[in-house]
Amino acid sequence: MGTTRSPREPDESQRHTKIQFASTMQRAMSLRLRLLQRPVRQLAPGARRASSKAADFADILYGQDTGVRTVTFNRPEKLNALTLPMAQHLTQRLHKLEANATVNAIVFSGSGGKAFCAGGDIRALADNGKDPATRQVALDFFRHEYRLNYLLATTEKPIISFLNGVTMGGGVGLSMHGKFVVATEKTLFAMPETAIGFFPDVGASYLLPRLGRRLVEGEDYVADVPKSQALKGQGLGTYLALTGERLKGHEVIGLGLATHYLPTSEYETLVHHLTGLEFADNVPQEERDEIIHEALEELETDEAFQEIDPGEWIMWNCVLMVLSDGGCFFFSAF
């Protein structure tokens, strides 16, 4: 007679699949840790000056006239896609701004009217990765991008990301780590990596599973919500990670991914309004953040939310309630 097996005991194929999956995840995490721990390759002095100068005058534009500094990603022909020189230069500039007591806030935006930032320059990464002579450049890009994301998440300077167009992949990493995220009617938000067999990176693998926690703790000035809404947030993060769903601006604010919503035409008004704010010396950072939050709220109008369709709102909430019931628990466990 054949040997009987308990119904709860997984068969050999299931056990092999689980072991193989765990091994793959372990190798991926090990590779990322090695990349982050490697020393940054130093460029020749002339090369460093050239790349910084190019980024300063072409790829990133900085406004330095007031206590509110503007950072504009300026590669409109590439939907403001991020490159290694851009990541290096922005990191250096942010360190300087962080040490400057006269800087009260930093505003990120994209030029060209179509994109905030469409992510990393995939074409450049692919080209560099194919050539052994330039493969290190591709690896350096990810290392610098992760360090930049960490800096954005830990700096005390309030960062306001104005999502005036496509915001995907690395663009999500540039925006979501800051304290304030302003959605607009032009926002198109997604982490599309799963469509090509990858997993959400550049900080989204950290942020999305914790989206419910961000909601319930009131981080980034998301409106106070009950615990049930936090569960919906966890489901939302899982859903976005697994599907790469593209969200429009009114969906981004409606689902709690953004803190505020303004028309793109209000960008100059936003900067001017923030510039007029006065901060007392040695005021706690929490109070500074609250002042900026209230200033952003003053600019919001009811017209900004007219794009939200009630039927679509109900549909989204139904989807999130289903996701929060534990059917998709894997990402929330990390």
Residues classed as catalytic: 120, 170, 193, 201
Give the DSSP H or E segment for 15: helix 12-37
Among 295, 239, 287, CA closest to 262:
295
How long is the chain? 334
Among 35, 27, 29, CA closest to 135:
35
Cα separations (Å) of 166 from 73, 116, 169, 184, 206?
12, 6, 10, 10, 21
| Residue 209 main-chain phi, psi, to 5 deg | -65, -20
Q: Which two tokens stand for residue 156?
A: 């005390």
Q: Are strands 60-63 and 68-73 parallel, antiparallel or unpaired?
A: antiparallel
Residues 134 and 126: their CA atoms lie apart, in Å, by 10
Q: Look at residue 128 and give its three-state secondary structure.
A: helix
Among 263, 258, 268, 251, CA closest to 317:
251
CA atoms within 13 A on the CB side of 324: 19
CA of residue 70 relative to chain centroid, distance = 18
Quickly tell me which residue has 């300063």 as its tokens.
Answer: 56
Among 119, 117, 179, CA closest to 152:
179
Asked if 321 and 239 touch (Cβ cutoff 8 Å), the reply is: no
